[in-house]
Every structure is written in C-alpha cells, then in structure tokens.
A and B are shown apart, each in its own frame.
Chain A
Amino acid sequence: MKLQEYQSKQYFAKFGVPIPKGRVAVTAAEAKQIAEELGGRVVIKSQVLVGGRGKAGGIRLAKSPKEAEDLATQILGMEIKGLPVRKVLVDEAANIETEIYLGITNDRAARKPVIMASAAGGVDIEEVARQTPEKIIKVHIDPLLGLRDYQARDLAARIDLPRDNWRTFNQIAHGLWEAYKASDANLAEINPLVITTDMRLLALDGKMVLDDNALFRHPELAEMRDRDVEVEAETEARKYGLSYIQLDGEIGCMVNGAGLAMATMDIIKLFGGEPANFLDIGGGASAEKVAAALRIILQDPNVKVVLFNIFGGITRGDEVARGILTSLEEVKPDVPMITRLVGTNAEEGRQILAEADMITAETLVSAAQKAVAATQGGQA
C-alpha cells in the first residue's frame, strides 16, 4: 500500500527529517489561505499516487496567494493518469542548490534492507539505475544491528556531499531508517533531498510503500489507503479474503492457490485465449466464498466464460463442488462455465456437478481448450 507524498513527509518528520512548511488543501480557498500563512511563494502539489505528476502539470510554483488559489483551482480539477486530484499539498517554496536521492528498501536477494544514495537526485531513480547504475551508492543494513553511523558517513562521502552537511545527513538517514522500520515499509524514499541555497538539507518529496502483511500493526496507517488507485472489485475481493486482480481478457478464472491461478492464466493464453482475471480463492472454499468470487468475476462485463480450476488437496473436491452449486443458484450466471476438479474426492465432486449445466474437463489442457472454444461460441 502506497502513502501520499504529504503523508510520507509528515511521517518522516516525526523521525527528525526536515520537511518544508506546508499543509494539505482540498479547496482553492484553503490553498490561498495556506499560501498567505507561508508568505506567498509556494509550490502547489497534486496528491495522487502516480509518478510523473510534474510532467502532467500537477506540480506548479505560485508567487502569490492569488496565484496559489488559481493554480489550486486548476490542479484540483485535473485527472492525472486517470486518477482524480482530490487534494493538493501547499508547501513553502525552497531555493534549491542541489538535488540528491536517499531511499531505503528491501533487497530480497540479499535478504536485507538496503540504503541507497545518489548525487543524481530529483529524477526517476529507476531510470538512473538502468542508465548509470554506478551513480547509485548502495549499502546493506544488517536488520539485527540497524543502520550504523559509519554507513551514513560512507554514503555522504561517496556521493560527494559537502562536509558541512554530513551531520544533518546522518540524522536524516537515521530518521529515514527509523521511519522505514517503525512503519514496516517496503520502501521509504526522499527524492529529492535538496541542499538549499543557504546550505540546509530539506526533504522536498517523500514516498512510502507499506507491507500489506504488516498493516495489522499499523491501523492508523492502514486507514490512509487510497481507494482511487484500486479497481473497486479488488477492494471488494479483499473483504472476502480473496486475492483478485482484474485483467482485460474474456475468460474469468477461479482457482485455488496463487501459483496454480497464474499457471491457469498462462495456459489460457497458450491456447489462444486471454484471461480476464487472477483469482485465488485460497483454502477451504466455502459456498459463501465461491459465490462472492463468482459475483466479483462476473461484474467484469468482458467475461464471456468462467473456468473453475480446483485442485482438491486438503480442500476436498466434493466440498468445493457443493460450494459451486450453491453459488450458481445464488448468482445465476448466464455465461458458459467450465469446471476442472482434480485430486481428493474429485470423482464425488464431478458427480455433484453433473446435475449442474457445466462443461467439465479432466486435464488442465482440455479445460483451457474448452474455455477458449467457448469464447468463440463453440462447444469443444
């Protein structure tokens, strides 16, 4: 889960990271008032969870409260990459001398957090990583020891930070580390961290990506989830403990297990079809869960066929079959349904489903072929 810029910066500030003075506004009048409080020269920044806000015109400099009001009116009426701008951050404008990058993320291959700094800040850091990886200095942090002072000094020296700024840089690096740790972040990033013309360090932008699995420890952060960035059906699925991702194909898939769900999507594609979604119903497929999953799949108007692929292991085939039957009675789908049940009690399951109007398949290959044929209006 991503946090907005203003949320990330406020969070960093709690750990001693210096941020510009500023507040969030939801109306142009508020933006004007904040600009007056800050002395007139401000930056109006759209708060949407996409990259490229600046290029899209979503970040503008205002030289007076009046201009701040006008720009806020414009920006609050914008959509950036399909997302409506509902809030703007009004920050005191900084006089920038240099832009640097500072971030901490999980390095899954090293199984350790990694802190990264670069003198080439202010731009897309992934682009820097691709074009000129040597410009990014990386230092791994032992998760049991935490960030050490020498590591922060090492970074400062290797990005040629002026020595006068080392002490503050060390504080900021430690603040960022504490913020990353305290929030269970997957990413905590300041880009750019600027040196102002009066030689102060200031976090002009902030980004945090939190670990969804750790949100139980952070209810106050979990509440900040931005529903705009998620397809409604994906939010709905989460309520039922289903993992659902909408795609743009025609074959809806209901599968138990994430790996098998991906493999099912892949085999549909292999035989010339396009999957409409990823959906993992997890273990113990109750009728209630199956029905919810079916409703979610069918809310997508592109779905022409639904393929059930269930491997009965601990979850028994007959139980799943009963769940499917009950859900069919409830949802009454009007598209062809293909079922493949394998494993424990699959035979009993198939007998239960024989009463229903469903196409059955024994192998994954034939299930995929039948699903693809059904989208073309034929019976395989």
Chain B
Amino acid sequence: MSILVNQDTRLMVQGITGNEGLFHSQQMLEYGTNIVAGVTPGKGGEWVLDGKVPVFDSVSIAANARGANASVIFVPARFAPDAIFEAADAGIQMIVCITEGIPVQDMMRVRNYLDQKGVRLVGPNCPGLLTPGEAKVGIIPGDIAIPGNVGVVSRSGTLTYEVLYALKLVDIGVTTCVGIGGDPVNGTNFIDVLGMFEADPYTEQVVLIGEIGGTDEEKAAEFITSQMTKPVIAFIAGQTAPPGKRMGHAGAIVEGGEGLAADKIKALESAGVRVAKHPEEIAELIK
C-alpha cells in the first residue's frame, strides 16, 4: 500500500505556529493525516487549527504526551539542524525536513549523527511524502495524485508534481511519492527508497526523477542492476545546465566533471531503466 507514511502515522509538526507550518498543517489535516502535536518553543499550552492540535514547548514533552512516531519540520534554516537533533534525541524514528537553505556542513553533522542513532531523515529542501488516499507529510498538493501501484521518488518539488499530475490524467495511481530533496547532503537517498519500493508488495513500478549534481543516480543504477526486479522509469533534469553553476537547488551543480545529466542517463539506461526525454513522456512509458 505504501512506504514511510500511512494511516498509522502519528505526526508531530515542528514550527507549527509559523505561517508555512500552520498553512501546511491545515492542508495535511484536511487530507486526513493524523497530526497529534505541534511544537513551538514558548507557545506550549496553546491549541491551533480550530482547537484540534495542541502545541508544546519541546519535542520531548510533545512526544511523551502524545506518542508521535514521525515529525515534519518547517522551521527556518538557521534553526532547522537543531530541530532535527531535537527530534532524533526525543526518540522520533522518522523525520521529514522541508526547510531549504541549511548549510552543508550542518547537514554532514546531522546525517552522521542520525546514522549512528538509526533515525530516518527525509530531506531537507524537499516537498515531503504523499501516500494518496491515506496521508501526506509535507507540502505536496494532495489532489494531484490518486492511489495506485507506482512508487515515485524525486530530488525535486514542482517537477514531481508535474509527473504526478501527468500520471493522474491517464488514471495511473501512486503508492507513495517520496521527495528526497535537492541538497547535496540529505537524509535519504535514491537507493534507500528504491529498496523500500522493491520490498513493498503494492508497488509494481517505480518512477525516479533525478537531476544534475552528485552521483546518486549512478548509485541508483548500480542498485537497480543488482537488487531490483521491478521496472524503473526515470527522468533526469538539467541536460542544458552549464557546468559550475548551481541550478537553484544547492545540490544541482556539475563540478569537477561530475554530475552531468548525460552520464546519469547512460548509467540508468545500461541498468535497463527507460529514461523519458521529457516529464510528460513518463506517463506514456508506464502505460
């Protein structure tokens, strides 16, 4: 049915009283996500969203009081690493960080700490998770995807929406959509999610949306060759991007001859992946 998020997710929202946090909490609630608590230091004791969600001063107080098993983070970049550490130390096992603009060195410390604790982080700089018909964690618009048997994993935001929407128009549904984010160092990589989709009995095919920068797509290609039986369809953005320039996402840069779209496409194709020439073609390749 899904990976990472479903009806049993008991979600906490860090930064729930901020503009973005509040808006997206409302959207998640309307979609059916079970939001059990919010956290904003200094606002503990308040209730938000028509009195539906209690706010706590810290993650550990909230987790103890409400039994959250996942957290989504909407706090600004300069406070976000601390928010991730706080959630991990409070025993939250799955953290989704939406925040864009976290310094890379902070993320290297975060990632190495979380790996030692065995805590899953999705993001940062990502749109989050959507399991159509069940729950969403993050900012992916709920109405652009329908339930089905295609797993989607992507480094992008609106480009992912574009693909979900193109699938919906031809009645192709999705088990779970995972936005892993556009930063150079993040919590969850393509191969982590590919492994989960391979193990999920309801996922029959997988769509991978990559972009220039780094070598995660090449690693995904190796993983697909050695570990996957399910068909994978891919799209790689940034074929026309000039080297040495960051294309919006902190991680989308070709440098030192590494991270070229052409190399990624070649690696994926030699792993038997069908690579679409443009996003709308993905829906055709799935049918």
Contact = CB atoms under 8 A, between A and B. Distances in A.
A38 to B, nearest CB: 35
B215 interface: yes
Interface residue range, chain A:
35 or more
A299 interface: no
B68 interface: no
B250 A213 contact: yes
Contacts of B245: 245, 278
Interface string B255-287: 011000100000000000000011110000000
Contacts of A216: 77-78
Interface stretch (A84-92, A190-198, A257-265): A257-265
Nearest to B184: A108
Interface string B87-119: 000000000000001111111110111000000
A211 B103 CA distance: 7
Interface residues of B, number: 64
A377 interface: no
Contacts of B185: 106, 108, 111
A270 interface: yes
Contact of A181 (B105, B212, B216): B105
Most buried by A among B111, B143, B280: B280
B278 A267 contact: yes
Contact of B160 (A259, A270, A364): A259
B246 to A, nearest CB: 8
B157 interface: yes
A256 interface: yes
B29 interface: no
Interface string B134-157: 000001110110000000001111
Interface in A245-263: 245, 247, 255-263
A365 B247 contact: no
A143 interface: yes
B240 interface: yes
A262 B235 CA distance: 12
A257 B184 contact: no
Given A214-B103, A259-B158, A143 B144 contact: no
Contact of A258 (B27, B112, B165, B249): B249
Interface of A: 106, 108-109, 111-113, 126, 129-130, 142-144, 181, 184, 186, 211-214, 216-217, 243, 245, 247, 255-263, 265-270, 275, 278, 280, 311, 313-314, 342-344, 363-365, 368
Interface of B: 23-24, 27, 77-78, 101-109, 111-113, 139-141, 143-144, 154-162, 165, 182, 184-185, 209, 211-212, 214-216, 219, 235, 237-242, 245-252, 256-257, 261, 277-280
29 contacts: A108-B104, A109-B219, A112-B108, A143-B108, A144-B112, A211-B103, A212-B250, A214-B104, A214-B105, A217-B103, A255-B158, A258-B182, A258-B249, A259-B154, A259-B237, A266-B238, A267-B278, A267-B279, A269-B239, A269-B240, A311-B158, A313-B158, A314-B27, A314-B139, A342-B162, A343-B144, A343-B161, A363-B280, A365-B278
